[in-house]
């Protein structure tokens, strides 16, 4: 009897949590308060590059036939100047696998709010290759590393932060 009660309790908890997750996801999709209400500018401090700067690019589409579209990215001169330089960027961690610490993950302007959704477009995500393991957190991080513009990357990403490590600003 006790085993059945424990099983029933665990099933009810699972249903409740999945219903709460589904409800939160549905509310967020329809613009309920809390959905993308985070302003990345609140993370910007002296010495940290702006996510607005990462959005400064042009994308040209060339359709060569059905299902054959080429994309060519043209980075702004300000972004070109950062290529290969050490920069600081503030944002949120998006792991690509389950672990406690990570050396490779996505970094985004917006906090995680849905387990099935990406945080935005390619201009709002940076691939991070860390020099030290970084412990997962839902809190914003400031990372410092060598900034790289990705040209024709098969993943569709536009930016990478190499040899990255968490830092604090004074």
Name the 3-class secondary structure at 167.
coil
CA angle 122-92-138, nearest 5°? 140
Q: What is the DSSP letter of 3?
A: H
| Confidence (pLDDT) at 21 | 39
pLDDT digits (tens, 9 = 90+) for 35-75: 345 555 666 666 899 999 999 888 787 888 888 887 788 99
Name the 3-class secondary structure at 28.
helix
Nearest to 44 by CA among 89, 82, 78: 89
pLDDT digits (tens, 9 = 90+) for 77-118: 999 999 999 999 999 999 989 999 999 999 998 888 776 777
Name the 3-class secondary structure at 146.
strand
Residue in this structure with the two tokens 């050396």, named with its chain if needed:
103
Q: 124 near 106, Cβ under 8 Å?
A: no
Q: What are phi and psi for residue 132, nearest 5 degrees?
A: -135, 150
């Amino acid at each position: 009897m006790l085993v059945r009660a424990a099983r029933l309790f665990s099933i009810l908890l699972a249903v409740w949590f999945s219903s709460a997750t589904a409800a939160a996801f549905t509310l967020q999709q329809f613009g309920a308060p809390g959905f993308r209400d985070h302003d990345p500018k609140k993370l910007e401090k002296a010495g940290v590059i702006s996510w607005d700067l990462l959005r400064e690019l042009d994308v040209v589409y060339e359709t060569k036939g059905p299902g054959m579209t080429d994309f060519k990215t043209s980075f702004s001169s300000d972004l070109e100047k950062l290529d290969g330089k050490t920069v600081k960027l503030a944002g949120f961690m998006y792991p690509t696998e389950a672990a406690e610490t990570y050396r490779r993950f996505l970094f985004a302007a917006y906090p995680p709010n849905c387990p099935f959704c990406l945080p935005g477009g390619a201009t709002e995500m940076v691939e991070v290759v860390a020099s030290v393991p970084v412990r997962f957190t839902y809190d914003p991080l400031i990372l410092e590393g060598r900034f790289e513009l990705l040209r024709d990357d098969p993943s569709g990403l536009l930016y990478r932060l190499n040899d990255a490590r968490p830092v604090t600003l004074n």
